[in-house]
Chains A and B, each alone.
Chain A
Amino acid sequence: MAELTTYRESVAEGIAREMRRDPAVVCLGEDIGAAGGVFKTTVGLYEEFGPVRIRDTPISEQAIVGAAMGAAMTGLRPVAEIMFSDFLACCWDHVANEIPKVRYMTGGQVTVPLVIRTANGGGLGFGAQHSQAVENWAFAVPGLKVVAPATPSDVVGLMAAAIRSDDPVVFFEHKGLFASKGPPAPPEHLVPLGQAACLRTGTDVTLVALAATVPTALAAAERLTAEGVSAEVLDLRCLVPLDMRAVLESVARTSRLVVVEENPYQGGWGGTVASIVADEGFELLDAPIRRVAAACVPLPFADRLEDAVLPTVDTVAGAVRALAAY
Chain B
Amino acid sequence: MTTTAETATAELLDWYEQMAVIRRTEQAAQDLFLAGLVKGTTHLAAGHEAVAVGASTALRDDDYVFATYRGHHHAIARGATPEECLAELMSKATGLCGGKGGSMHLTKADRNMLGSYAIVGAHLPMAAGAAWSAVLRGSGQVAVAFFGDGATNIGTFHETLNLAAVWKLPVLFVCENNLYMEYTPIGSVTAVPNPAADRAAAYRLPAELLDGNDVLAVHAAVATAAQRARAGDGPTIIEARTYRQFGHSRTDPGKYRPEAEVAQWLARDPLTLARAALADRGVPESDVDAADQRARALVEAAVAAAKAAPEPDLATALTDVWADGSAGWRS
Contacts and interface: CB of A to CB of B under 8 A. Distances in A.
A61 to B, nearest CB: 8
B129 A70 contact: yes
B325 interface: yes
Nearest to A196: B331
Interface in B255-314: none
A271 interface: no
A47 interface: no
A141 B121 CA distance: 21
A241 B159 contact: no
Contacts of A143: 321
Give the interface size class of chain B. 35 or more
B130 A74 contact: yes
B114 A73 contact: yes
A26 interface: yes
B129 A68 contact: yes
Contacts of A70: 64, 66, 114, 125-133, 143
A48 interface: no
A15 B320 CA distance: 27
A89 to B, nearest CB: 13
A266 to B, nearest CB: 21
Given A66-B128, A107-B98, A194 B107 contact: no
Nearest to B128: A67
A259 to B, nearest CB: 15
Nearest to A99: B126
B330 A241 contact: yes
Contacts of B96: 106-107
A145 B330 CA distance: 11
Interface string A196-224: 00000000000000000000000000000
Nearest to A23: B136
B100 A241 contact: no
A240 B130 contact: no
Given A66-B125, A69-B129, A105 B100 contact: yes
Given A98-B122, A110-B115, 16 more contacts: A55-B167, A62-B156, A62-B159, A62-B160, A63-B128, A66-B124, A67-B129, A70-B130, A71-B130, A74-B133, A98-B119, A105-B101, A106-B115, A143-B321, A166-B322, A246-B331
Q: 7 closest A-B pairs (Cβ-Cβ)?
A: A66-B125, A70-B129, A67-B129, A166-B323, A70-B126, A108-B320, A107-B98
